[in-house]
Amino acid sequence: MEKRLALIWGPPGTGKSQTLRAILLGLLLEAHAAGKTIRILVTSNTYDATDNVVLRTFRQIVALGEAETGKVQLARLRSGSKEDAPSLPAGVNLLNDKDAPGIRELHDLLTAGTTSAIVSAPPQQVAKFAGLKGNVAQPLFDVVLIDEASQMDMANAVLTLAPLAEGGSTIVVGDPKQLPPIQAVQAPLGLEKLLGSVYDFVADHRRVTSKDLLENYRSNSTIVGFGRFAGYPAGLTARYPDLRMRLETPFPAAAPANWPGNLAFGTEFARLPEPSQPISAFIYPEGRSSRWNDFEAQTVAALLSTLRGHLGAGLDGDPQASGAGLHTAISFWTDAVGVVTPHRAHKALVVSKLQALFEPLGDDGRLIRNAVNTVERFQGQQRDVIIASYALGDPDAIADEDEFLLSLNRFNVMASRPRAKLVVLASQEVINHLPGDLEVMRDSRLLKYFAETFLDDRTDCEILFMDGHSVGRKSGSFRVRN
């Protein structure tokens, strides 16, 4: 905070959220010690991103008490379509409507500037709140902190900066190698840095030097090492290099008595999630699937059925792990496993199979649904084990969406979510596809390098699946890092 505009670059797992919490608390305590007040806005494109930063900070501030922090107004603004965040003190969750309780009082308090405040809201809610008493945004904040700035375009960033007070400061935090903003049309040639993400604007147009976070607290050294091929510096290291899945009991060599009758059983369902190999893949010729893929959906279901009865809570190699025994029906879906897929149609198929398998066992269908998502939804999250299911195999379908499907940033986000294990299911057609656009071809290099070079140990294998009422065999290549 020695400068009015600060830039923080945080690759996946490097503790961006924890760093931001420390900055928030430090600014508040410093202001109190100096006998001053400070008004801080925390914003991002999504509620999940802002909540990840502020909810724990809010609870920490409440626990410290007014004697340590001074009087502080905490507020989380939401639209009418969103729910309150759980476990916050009364009056912190606020419906952002001019007639809702507490909104005008908060606006008056920020305008007066006599009490410290931390407010969280996405850009549209910031603009609505800032213009509460007219069309012009009032100078309400001394500091604006923009998280996941590589996903926020300049149009939304302007909304968050409009209520910045004269002499105020801005902290921009993100990672340009993760997903960019979603824009309806491409920016005019030469104006990409002006109309793209606020992170790129600050870094490339304003040429602000970033403060880099280069210690990964999430993943083991194999997963972090692969990330360097996405363009991260050699100085990026794993704090816990030996993180591995912990099994309560070995994976079965034969079908257990309680194995689902609508799933084929094979030893490959123990081979793919083998803990000693942090990254594995099954690459196979497919040629037909466009939006969804029943074979991959069955394989995901079989892998999770295998893990459900054997995966222990906590990871080997994690000094902070205190778990013992199997994961609970809650932690299995919220902490242990996640399924990432490009398409909603395939997501729906996977979710339906998993709910049919696990809801009769007492698992919550909502938790199952939340554990299966697109790359965009998984950015900012982590799981002990991630299964990536590409689904597509039809060459024409792949060609129609190669820019989306083969994106370097998209695969980087996908591959950086797991702490201990990444399993990738993909057709050979996806890996072999050669885009007609030069930029898309360059962007596809990470996925191709992953499948053809990084995973340098290959063996032929077959995965069993139900083909109607009979058992089918899908031949392909099992690949790991030697």
What residue spans define the domains of the chain? 5-213, 244-480
* pLDDT on residue 328: 94
To which residue do tokens 């340009």 refer? 176
> How far is residue 419's CA from residue 315's CA, in Å, rounded to a whole number?
9
> Looking at the predicted structure, is the pLDDT value of residue 387 above 90?
yes
Q: Which two tokens stand for residue 157?
A: 């960033």
For range 287-315, the mean pLDDT = 95
391-415 confidence digits (pLDDT tens): 999 999 999 999 999 999 999 999 9
**Count of Cβ atoms closer than 10 Å to residue 22 Cβ:** 12
Rounded to whole angstroms, the Cα distance separating 45 from 156 reads: 8
Q: How far apart are CA 218 and CA 14, in angstroms?
A: 7
At 322 the pLDDT is 76
Q: Quick check: 380 and 18 in contact, CB under 8 A? A: no
Q: Please, which pLDDT band fits residue 323 given cuts at 50, 70 and 90?
A: low
List CB contacts of 154: < 8 A, sequence separation 6 or more: 194, 195, 196, 197, 198, 201
Let me know: does 302 contact 263? Beta carbons within 8 Å. yes
Mean of pLDDT over the chain:
94
Q: Given a cut of 80, is residue 469 above it in pLDDT? A: yes
Pairing between β-strand 457-467 and β-strand 470-480 as defined by DSSP bridges? antiparallel
Q: Which two tokens stand for residue 170?
A: 């801005």
pLDDT score, position 195:
82
Q: Return the sign of the alpha-carbon dihedral for residues 155, 417, 121, 100.
A: positive
CB 384 within 8 A of CB 421: yes
Q: At 1, is the pLDDT very low, low, confident or very high (cuts 50, 70, 90)? A: low
Instruction: Please state the rounded mean pLDDT for residues 369-389.
Output: 93
- Whether the per-residue pLDDT at 129 is higher than 70: the answer is yes
332 has a pLDDT exceeding 70: yes
Which H, E and C letters describe the chain, residue by residue?
Answer: CCCCEEEEECCCCCCHHHHHHHHHHHHHHHHHHCCCCCEEEEECCCHHHHHHHHHHHHHHHHHHCHHHHCCEEEEEEECCCCCCCCCCCCCCEEECCCCCCCHHHHHHHHHHCCCEEEEECCHHHHHHHHCCCCCCCCCCEEEEEECCHHHCEHHHHHHHHCCEEEEEEEEEEECCCCCCCCCCCCCCCCCHHHHCEHHHHHHHHCCCCCEECCEECCCCHHHHHHHHHHCCCCCCEECCCCCECCECCCCCCCCCCCCCCCCCCCCHHHHCCCCCCCEEEEEECCCCCCCCCHHHHHHHHHHHHHHHCCEECCCECCCCCCCCCECCCCHHHHHHEEEECCCHHHHHHHHHHHHHHHHHHCCCHHHHHHCEECHHHHCCCCEEEEEEECCCCCHHHHHHCHHHHCCHHHHHHHHCCEEEEEEEEEEHHHHHCCCCCHHHHHHCHHHHHHHHHHCCEEEEEEEEEEECCEEEEEEEEEEECC
Query: 366: how many CB neighbours lie within 10 A of its CB?
Result: 10
Q: Could you tell me the pLDDT band of residue 61, with boundaries at 50, 70 and 90?
A: very high
pLDDT at 193 (0 to 100): 76
Residues 273-293 have pLDDT tens digits of 999 999 999 999 999 998 899
**Whether the predicted pLDDT of 324 surpasses 90:** no
- 187 pLDDT more than 80: no
CATH of domain 244-480: 3.40.50
The neighbouring-strand residues paired with 281 are 424, 479
pTM: 0.90
pLDDT at residue number 150? 93
- Residue among 400, 481, 480, 395 nearest 440 (CA): 400
Question: Nearest CA to 407 among 397, 396, 415?
Answer: 415
* C-alpha–C-alpha distance, residues 258 and 174, integer Å: 45
pLDDT per residue as tens digits for the range 62-121: 999 999 999 999 999 999 999 999 889 999 999 999 999 999 999 999 999 999 999 999
CA–CA separation, 40 and 164 (whole Å) = 9
Are 377 and 324 spatial neighbours (Cβ–Cβ below 8 Å)? no
The reply to whether 244-480 shares the fold of 5-213 is yes
Indicate if the pLDDT at residue 255 is higher than 70. yes
Contact assessment for residue 333 and residue 383, using Cβ atoms and an 8 Å cutoff: no
pLDDT score, position 303: 98
Q: pLDDT digit string (tens) for 167-181?
A: 999 999 999 999 888
Does domain 5-213 correspond to CATH entry 3.40.50.300? Answer: yes
Q: Please give the structure tokens belonging to residue 83.
A: 């729910």
pLDDT score of 152: 94
